[in-house]
Amino acid sequence: MSTYGARHAPSAFSTPASIALFRRLTWEGTVPLEIRVDGKELPANSNRGLECYFVQAPRVSYLPLLVPEVRQFLMDVVFDENGGRVVKEEEWWFEREDGGLVKWHWPIGLIYDTYTTSLAPAAAAAASPVPLKLVLHLASPPTDKLLLQPSADACKQAFMGQLKEADFLRWGSTKRMTGLRKQEQDGIWDGIKEHNFDTYWRIASKITPTPSPNAQGGRSPSPAPVPPSSASMVHTRPPSAEPGAGSDANRDAATSVRSVPVRIYLPDGPVLQDLVPPTLDDGAPHILGRFLHSHLPLLFPAPPGPSELAYAVVQGVLCPMDAEMAWLGACMAGADGWVSVCVGIGRFGG
Amino acid sequence: MSPPPAHLTRSEFETASKALVDDAREGGDALAQRHLREWSWVEHASVSGLGYLSRTVLLSRRPGCRSYELGFTDGLDGEAILEEEDGATLSDADPSDTVVCRQYVVYSPTYQVPVFYFTIHASNGAPLSLEDILRSSLFRPDTLPPSQITSFALSPDSSPFPLLSQGDHPTLGTPSWYVHPCETPKAVGEILAEVQRPQGTATKELMRVWFAVLGGVVDLRP
């Protein structure tokens, strides 16, 4: 079930139900991958012509985690009995069909979104989602281009590192992450490996901020998911500075974080990262339009209107400029805690 | 009360880095020169505000030198191995023991401190394994804590973060090794609190101290 394309959502308050809904939607999102095995590397007697594996891969998962199912497919359909014994998974590595190296330590959804936002507008306007075409090599990883092999263990470490960074950005320390028992930390990764929403969120909910429960007002529906106005009026001063503000809800509120973990991905360009306070100095909630305007003023002129020159995609969905950064951080971050804003040039959908 | 951890903004990082490089180029004190020689400030090709310090140095694999004793557990089977390497018995006798190390000092927007990134390749272009990196002259002997070693990270037993691991260079986007910055703000902050006669601005002093702290573990002499 591909979720590429605008989702329609009713106007929603920041109720626990809507938080869970968007987290579930983000979790269940998938992208189309076409993984073709390099024909030159197939073992003898393989069934040639069939070595292409199509998969709707979860956005929150990682390429090394797909290796077991690709291997199973190859064993069932392509290799003969000996072929399965000959191949060594440690030698496997991915490449884009156009020759670019794949950042296998990035979440699959991010790999896909940066791919589509870098396509020329006409190609991006294809009626159905364009599969990301990858070549899977079974041998000879280039030691000059790849620093290390895409093993699941290396991937797990990279993932945990990103989670800890996100934790640090939000609260100025990694106490919440390091406060988890090792079993729980492993449990988060297990949730990713098994693609199990409940396993993941059972633990992630301890470290991920939630939009404040006392939301006021909503917005009228617009043709893209409408992040509800979190309008909780919680200031970014640390809870201890406010009398009577010591409740758990406030402490963990998305609007109490120091900074939302956000990165901007420019098409074929560098990754931008900066502090993203949930509330601005004038007391207004920090919305996507202002955030993008402050970092890419030429592409995103001052809000409120959307830009004519560029657009922003989060989890594959065109993100409205009035989306609140705090809300994005609580509901549409990746499993690694980061909100990835992929910028595309032109108009979304060509 | 412990001193506040040391942080700086990206633009402070840029100003201080350029100032230090200029100092080193023009002379200045011997200590500054040693750590800071041959660094240059590089900007991203098209996007401003992503500059970093860069230099390339030649290092040795240290054959013939006695490598340090490292107590670490093999990440795979959990057995503790105390390894004593006598350089003369190293089996990977590469004819050329020179390796090329590209070094970078990049700003971390997460931790708001400089971070040391590097890549290190043999003369044939092959990247060094982590074990070979630890044996090279990049790290000062006996300065690393007891750690678990895998092919992709060096993780001290005492810390939730790996000391050395792989990541994308924040500006170039290419894969490199980096020294994790989580302990830096505290270490630098403590030293800054002791500095009697700071030379120049506070952030330049911070960078100078940062280099000194890094230099305790990484041999920064070119």
Residue B73 falls inside a structural domain: yes
Distance CA B106, CA B115 (A): 5
B121 and A CB contact within 8 Å: yes
Residue A332 has pLDDT above 80, yes or no: yes
Contact B126/A at CB under 8 A:
yes
Q: Tell me the chain B residues in contact with residue A151 when contact means C-beta distances shorter than 8 Å.
A: 151-152
Q: What are phi and psi of A251, to 5 degrees?
A: -60, -35
pLDDT for the residue A337: 95
What is d(CA A79, CA B156) in angstroms, rounded to the nearest whole number? 42
**Cβ–Cβ gap B160/A146 under 8 Å:** no
User: What is the per-residue pLDDT for A167?
Assistant: 93
CA nearest to A236, candidates A283, A200, A198, A196: A283
CB contact under 8 Å between B160 and A147, yes or no, is no
Q: Which helix (H) or strand (E) holds A264?
A: strand A262-265
Angle at B148 between CA B143 and CA B151, to 5 degrees: 105
Dump pLDDT digits (tens) for B18-61: 998 888 777 655 655 666 778 999 999 888 899 999 999 998 88
Is pLDDT of A130 > 70?
yes
Q: Any CB–CB contact under 8 A between B176 and chain A?
A: yes
Q: Which residues of B touch A174 (CB under 8 A)?
A: 160, 182
Answer whether B137's CB lies under 8 Å from B98's CB: no
**Residues A217-237: what's their mean pLDDT?**
33
Flag whether pLDDT at A266 surpasses 90: yes
Token pair 């971390």: residue? B108
What does the block give as tokens for B117?
């990134």
Chain B residues with CB under 8 Å of A146 CB are 175
Nearest one of A264, A335, A256 to A299, comparing CA atoms: A264
Report the domain count for chain B.
Answer: 1
Say yes or no: B167 contacts chain A, CB-CB below 8 A.
Answer: yes
Q: Which of A141-150, A296-305, A311-320 has the highest mean pLDDT?
A: A311-320
| Residues B205, B84 contacting (CB under 8 angstroms) | no
pLDDT tens-digit readout, B140-194? 877 877 788 888 888 887 777 788 888 889 999 888 999 988 777 778 888 888 8
Whether A153 sits inside 8 A of B152 (CB atoms) is: yes
Percent of chain B exceeding pLDDT 90 equals 24
Q: Mean pLDDT for chain B?
A: 78
Tokens at A136, concatenated: 């899977």
Q: Report the chain A residue with the minimal C-alpha distance to residue B151.
A: A148
Classify residue B1: in a domain, yes or no.
Answer: no
Give the pLDDT confidence score for residue A212 in this predicted structure.
62
DSSP-assigned letters across all residues of A94-122:
EEETTSPBP-TTS-HHHHHHHHHHHS-HH
Q: Is residue B66 part of a domain?
A: yes
**Window 177-206 of B, Cβ < 8 Å to A:** 177, 182
Kindly list the domain boundaries of chain A, sorted by start residue. Answer: 28-149
Query: Which chain B residue has its CA at the smallest distance from A270's CA?
Result: B171
Question: What beta strand segments (E) does B109-197 contain?
Answer: 113-122, 147-149, 153-156, 164-168, 175-179
Torsion A44-A45-A49-A54 (CA) sign: negative
Task: Note the pTM of the prediction, 2 decimals.
Answer: 0.82
B19, B11 contact by CB (below 8 A) = no
| Interchain pair B160, A164: CB under 8 A | yes
When CB atoms are compared, the residue of A157, A169, A266 closest to B162 is A157
The verdict on a CB contact (< 8 Å) between A149 and B151 is: yes
Residues 6 or more apart whose CB falls under 8 angstroms from that of B99 comprise B58, B59, B60, B61, B120, B121, B122, B123, B128, B136
Residues B123/B99, Cβ–Cβ less than 8 Å: yes
Predicted confidence at residue A125, as pLDDT, reads 57
Does B220 fall in a domain?
no
Residue contact A154–B151, C-beta within 8 A: yes
Q: Give me the domain span that covers residue B210.
A: 10-215
Give one word for B33, left, alpha or beta, with left for phi > 0 and alpha for psi -120 to 50: alpha
Residue A263 has phi, psi (to 5 degrees) of -130, 145
In chain A, how many H helices and how many E strands?
12, 9
**pLDDT of the residue at A165:** 92
What are the tens digits of pLDDT across the range A175-223?
A: 888 889 889 999 999 999 999 999 999 999 988 888 765 433 333 223 3
The label of the residue with tokens 């996007």 reads B47
Which of A278, A202, A214 has the alpha carbon at shortest distance from A247? A214
* Cβ–Cβ pairs < 8 A, chains A and B: 73
Please give, rounded to a whole number of angstroms, the shortest distance from the CA of B81 to a CA of chain A: 21
- Which of A143, A171, A274, A336 to mutate to probe the B interface, most B CBs <10 Å? A143
The answer to whether the CB atoms of B126 and A161 lie below 8 A apart is no
Residue B25 lies in a domain: yes
Q: Name the A residues in 154-193 with CB < 8 Å from any B CB.
A: 154, 157-158, 161, 164-165, 168-169, 174, 177-178
- Is B221 within a domain? no
Is B44 inside any structural domain?
yes
Q: Is residue B4 part of a domain?
A: no
Q: Would you state the pLDDT for residue A346?
A: 86
Which residues in chain A are contacts of B120 at CB distance < 8 A?
none
Q: Which CATH number fits domain A28-149: 3.90.700.10, 3.40.50.2300, 3.90.230.10, 3.10.20.620?
A: 3.10.20.620
For A147, the closest of B46, B162, B166 (CB atoms) is: B166
Indicate yes or no: CB of A270 within 8 angstroms of CB of B50: yes
Is some CB atom of chain A closer than 8 A to the CB atom of B48?
Answer: no
Alpha helices, DSSP H only, in B70-201?
130-135, 184-194
* Residues A334 and A340 sit within 8 Å (Cβ to Cβ): yes
**Candidates A103, A161, A271; nearest CB to B165:** A161
Contact by Cβ (8 Å): A232, A14: yes
Nearest to A157 among B110, B125, B153 (CB): B153
Strand partners, B139: B218
- Chain B: residue nearest A262 by CA? B110
